[in-house]
Structure 1
Amino acid sequence: MRFMLNWLFTSIAIAIATFLVPGIQPFGFAEAWVCFAFVGLFLNIVDSFVKPFLTVISLPLTIITLGIFQLVLNSFMLELASYLSVNLLGVGISIAGFGSAFMGSILVSIMRSILDSIAED
Structure 2
Amino acid sequence: MSKSSEALGILAQLVLGGVSVIITAFLLPGVHVDGFLTAVILTALLALLNITVKPILIMLTIPITIVTLGLFLLAINAILILLASEIIGGFYVDGFWWALAFALILSLINSLLGVSLGEKRPTR
TM-score (norm 1): 0.80
**Does the 8 Å CA contact 1:13/1:107 hold for their aligned counterparts?**
no
| Distance across 2 between alignment mates of 1:5 and 1:60 | 37
Distance 1:109 1:35 in 2: 18
Relative to total residues, which structure has the larger helix share, 1 or 2? Answer: 1
Q: What are the ranges of 5 or more consecutive residues in structure 2 without an aligned counterpart? A: 1-5, 116-121
Aligned partner of 1:113 among 111, 114, 118: 111
Give, in angstroms, the shift of residue 5 of structure 1: 4.1
Rg larger for: 2
CA distance in 2, matches of 1:3, 1:55: 26
1:24 aligned onto 2:27: no
Percent identical among aligned pairs is 27
Tell me, what secondary structure is at the counterpart of 1:66?
coil
4+ residue segments displaced more than 4 Å = none
Q: Distance in 1 between matches of 2:15 and 2:68?
A: 32
Q: How many residues align?
A: 109
In structure 2, the residue matched to 1:89 is: none
Quote the RMSD (CA, aligned, Å).
1.9
Q: Which stretches in structure 1 are left out of the alignment for 5+ residues?
A: 87-91
* Length-normalised TM-score, structure 2: 0.78
Amino acid at match of 1:13: S
Structure 2 residue identity aligned to 1:4: L
Q: 1:7 to 1:59 in 2, by over 3 A?
A: farther
In structure 1, give the amino acid aligned to 2:15. L
Q: Distance in 1 between matches of 2:87 and 2:106?
A: 18
- State how 1:88-107 maps to structure 2 within 5 Å: 92-107=90-105
- Establish whether residue 47 from structure 1 lines up as the match of residue 39 from structure 2: no
